[in-house]
Amino acid sequence: SQLNIGVVVGSARRDAFSKKAAEELVSYLPESYQVKFLKIEQLELFNQDYDDDGTTPESWKTFREEVKGMDAYIFVTPEYNRSIPPVLKNALDIASRPYGQNCWSGKPGAVVSVSPGATGAFGANHHLRQVLTFLNIYTMQQPEVYLSNVGDLLDDNGNFIEGTKGFIKSAAEAYTDWVSKFKR
Ligand code: FNR
């Protein structure tokens, strides 16, 4: 049976390395996985008033329904100032509310962090894990996926080099295994 996999990329940048990494990862998932990249950059900045006074933006409503409809998630994020980018935090917050209506809850997930720098967006990876814990997403622990010096992991055609493909493929297999442990 089909599984709906929601991919959330923490960058709206046209040529985002994190989007490239996400596309590579999902290319190794089974055919029964229906992969959807969840768009987040159009979401109005969270303000609790909009829910409290009944002016909830349409974009939030649509996004919350989308998130609820997924069976599992994959988060691929860059690092901004040693944390996650605001566009990603905003999306996580929006679908976690109103209070008691956390749309993320009870689903498996995985975290991939990507950086052109040496530290592999470790700070973002672990700040994200902290948030996902509270959102009650069952985050895969191993393998941890830090793609550091990502510029060096891409060849002249913009494709990941063989070693990195192998690593990302093994992460995709571990994720498939992880997702299979959870009942729907
Ligand atoms: C960055 N960048 C960055 N990189 C990093 O490894 N650690 C960091 O703390 C930061 N901080 C940071 C803050 C801000 C505001 C910006 C705009 C950028 C660089 C970042 O990794 C780089 O721009 C990536 O290319 C962003 O990821 P995408 O868009 O390619 O996925």
The residues near 4 (Cβ < 8 Å, ≥ 6 apart) are 34, 36, 69, 70, 71, 72
Domain that holds residue 22: 3-47+55-180
Neighbours of 120 (CB within 10 A): 20
Ligand 1 pocket member 85 (CB < 6 A): no
Neighbours of 153 (CB within 10 A): 22
C-alpha span between 16 and 32 (Å, rounded): 27
C-alpha span between 119 and 137 (Å, rounded): 25
Closest C-alpha residue for ligand 1 atom 26: 78
Total of domains in the chain: 1
25: domain CATH number is 3.40.50.360
Mutate to test the pocket of ligand 1, among 20, 80, 125 (most ligand atoms within 8 A of CB): 80
pLDDT of residue 183: 81
Ordered per-residue pLDDT tens for the chain, 184 residues: 899 999 999 999 999 999 999 999 999 999 999 999 999 999 999 999 999 999 999 999 999 999 999 999 999 999 999 999 999 999 999 999 999 999 999 999 999 999 999 999 999 999 999 999 999 999 999 999 999 999 999 999 999 999 999 999 999 999 999 999 998 7
Closest C-alpha residue for ligand 1 atom 21: 115
Ligand 1 pocket member 14 (CB < 6 A): no
Tell me the three state secondary structure of residue 53: coil
